[in-house]
Amino acid sequence: MAPDTLTVTQKNDPLAEAGHRKDPTAGLGPGNEAEDPLVRVRGLSRRFGSRTVLDSIDVDIGAGEFVALLGRSGSGKSTLLRALAGLDQDIEGQVHVPAKRAVAFQDSRLLPWQKVLPNVALGLRGDRPVERATAALDEVGLADREKSWPKELSGGEQQRVSLARALVREPELLLADEPFGALDALTKVKMHGLLRELLAKHRPSVLLVTHDIDEALLLADRILVLDEGRISTDVRIPAPHPRSIAEPELSTLRTALLQGLGVDPAI
């Protein structure tokens, strides 16, 4: 294990026992400041009435880094993503994110009264928006569907359009909230492959909210777990791509993450 990792000595902590829980400041530079992170969050809190959903969160995301955010349902994952997207004005704390960011959700949020191509080109600035939107559709394998209505596409195809719409903007930060959560298993596997291909080309930083541990393990450079308003786990996954969930290192980490999320891995 790299010397900058620190194992927390919390009792009965499966992640610590597996050697995977890190000091959240590990890897940061002198004074615990990451060197010029793309995303820098300090003391982020969000309360709804008397409920504190995010409790003074600190997190950095580096340029080009792919971070998956796990957590139980209701733990605040979407709340954190919305804060980073700039969609929530009622937060406390500091959130520095690049202006060039794009958001993708579980439902593709395509405008039903627009065909596929104008949906991708919508609001696109700069030169030749239609040509760029056409090229983006080609990248996600949907060049022949540009004149279709959204409702004529399958769920997987709609999500591919949603990815094209996000990436055509060449975001520095892609924020995705369970984008594959409603897809069947086979389509999801294909989408994972497509996403990795697109990211290799466009190289944005990514925050992927997911409840799917395998998805996080297969795709991300780093996994965060949100629990009781705090980042309870921050772990790097150095395995090269493409990955298989059967790899022993990932399998051990998977068990530890499941236990950390309060799920019995035997089920």
Ligand X SMILES: Nc1ncnc2c1ncn2[C@@H]1O[C@H](COP(=O)(O)OP(=O)(O)O)[C@@H](O)[C@H]1O
Q: Which residues bind ligand X (CB under 6 A)?
A: 48, 53, 71, 73-79
To the nearest whole angstrom, how small is the minimum distance from the Cβ of residue 252 to Mg ion? 27
34 versus 258: smaller Cβ distance to ligand X? 258
Closest approach, Cβ 141 to Mg ion, in A, equals 28
Nearest residue (CB) to ligand X, 76 versus 150: 76
Task: For ligand X, give the closer residue by CB, 77 or 169.
Answer: 77
Residue closer to Mg ion, measured from CB, 9 or 73: 73
Quote the least distance from Cβ 4 to Mg ion, whole Å: 31
The string of DSSP codes covering 148-177 is: S-GGGS-HHHHHHHHHHHHHTT--SEEEEE
| Under 8 Å between Cβ of 81 and 226 | no
Q: Does 78 sit near Mg ion (CB under 5 A)?
A: yes
CA atoms of 7 and 20, how far apart (whole Å): 7
Looking at the Cβ atoms of 72 and 132, the one nearer to ligand X is 72
| Closest residue to Mg ion in the complex (CB) | 78
Tell me how far, at minimum, the Cβ of 93 lies from ligand X, in Å: 16
Residue 253's binding partner, choosing from ligand X, Mg ion, none, with beta-carbon cut-off 5 to 8 A by kind? none
* Minimum distance from residue 148 beta carbon to Mg ion (Å): 29
Token duo for residue 135: 């090229």
Cβ atoms within 10 Å, residue 266: 6
Look up residue 86 and give its DSSP letter.
Answer: T
Beta carbons within 8 Å of 50's beta carbon, 6+ residues apart: none
Show the tokens assigned to 59. Answer: 């997190």
Q: Which one-letter amino acid corresponds to residue 200?
A: A
The alpha carbon torsion through 18, 260, 5, 80 (nearest 10 deg) reads 160
Of 31-39, 71-79, 141-149, 229-237, the segment contacting Mg ion by CB under 5 A is 71-79
Q: Which stretch binds Mg ion (CB under 5 A): 73-81, 109-117, 121-129, 192-200?
A: 73-81
Judged by beta carbon distances under 5 to 8 A according to partner kind, the member of ligand X, Mg ion, none in contact with residue 240 is none
CA distance 80 to 39: 13
Smallest distance, ligand X to C-beta of residue 203, A: 26
CB closer to Mg ion, 117 vs 231: 231
241 contact partners, CB below 8 Å, separation of at least 6: 196
Largest CA distance in the chain: 58
76 binds, among Mg ion, ligand X, none (CB under 5 to 8 A by kind): ligand X
Q: What are residue 231's DSSP bridge partners?
A: 226
Footprint of Mg ion on this chain (CB under 5 A)?
77-78
